[in-house]
Each structure stands twice: as structure tokens, then as C-alpha cells.
Amino acid sequence: MAQKEVLAMKILVVDDEVEVVNFLCVFLNRLGISAEKAICGKEALEAFRNNRPEWVFLDIKMPDMDGLEVLKKMKEIDPNIKAMMITGRNDESAQNEAQALGASDYLMKPIDLDNLRKKIEQYILTKG
């Protein structure tokens, strides 16, 4: 398999579970996508301000501030930010709120790699 060209796009991966963040960053890097890590809402907002990624993969349930609040704050900084929410619970209310905030999709944990790859191809690789 040929080495993939690194895309000129950055994704910020935010989850309080370090293993999930590391796993997603390795997966994205293997697809040729640059990924940065954050393990809490405060760290995510700082990384977002400093690096301005085009996409954020954002856990909903985190101890310091939930992902919906983080997304609201990111939208205040950059209304064009694109987000994919991550959660371990099927919460229709949170899913509706995420969609109202402009989240493109919702990933359920444990994350299915084939499904994730399809979503990345659908939202990120084809639209930038």
C-alpha cells in the first residue's frame, strides 16, 4: 500500500478517555489526516483557539464541561467549525441538540472502524 499523502486539514479529537483519543488519532493519521488531542473541554477550547482545526471529533460526556457546551463555545469562535459527536450512550435529546448546533453526525462507542471510515469519506475526504 502506498504512503498516503497528509491532507492539509486538521482534526481535533476530544474525549476524556485517553485510550479513545489515542486510538482515533492513530486511525486518522493512518488515513493521512493530521489529528490533535485534547482530554477535556478546557484543553479542547485552548487547542481550538490556537490551531483552528477544520473538524472536531467531540465526546459528549466529559467531567469538566460536556461536549455540547464545548461545541457551543467553538461555534462562537468559528461558526464554520464542523463536528462529529462521540458518545457511549444513545441519548436522543443530546443527539438532537448536537444536530441543532450543526454537528454532522454521531459516533457510538465502541467505535466501529468501518463505519468511521465511511463517515470520514462521506464528510471529510469528499467535502474538506
For residue 19, is it within any domain?
yes
For residue 1, is it within any domain?
no
For residue 3, is it within any domain?
no
For residue 4, is it within any domain?
no
What three-state secondary structure class fits 128?
Answer: coil
14: closest CA among 119, 107, 125? 107
The residues pairing with 83 across neighbouring beta strands, listed in sequence order, are 56
Q: How many CB atoms lie within 10 A of CB 97?
A: 17
Instruction: Please name the helix (run of DSSP H) or strand (run of DSSP E) that holds residue 36, with its range, or none.
Output: strand 34-38
Task: Read off the pLDDT of each residue in 102-126 and give the average, rounded to a whole number.
Answer: 89
pTM for this model (two decimals): 0.89
Q: What is the pLDDT of residues 89-111, one digit of tens each?
A: 888 898 899 999 999 998 899 99
CATH number at residue 32: 3.40.50.2300
For residue 2, is it within any domain?
no
Question: Alpha-carbon torsion 43, 37, 67, 104, what sign?
Answer: positive
Task: Read off the pLDDT of each residue in 2-8 and give the average, rounded to a whole number.
Answer: 49
16: closest CA among 83, 47, 74, 62? 62
Beta carbons of 101 and 68 less than 8 angstroms apart: yes
Contacts of residue 43, defined as CB under 8 A and 6 or more positions apart, other chains included, come to 14
- pLDDT confidence of 8, banded at 50, 70, 90? low
pLDDT of residue 90: 84
62: closest CA among 22, 97, 17? 17
Give how many domains the chain has, as a whole number: 1
Query: Whole domain around residue 119: which residue ranges?
Result: 10-125
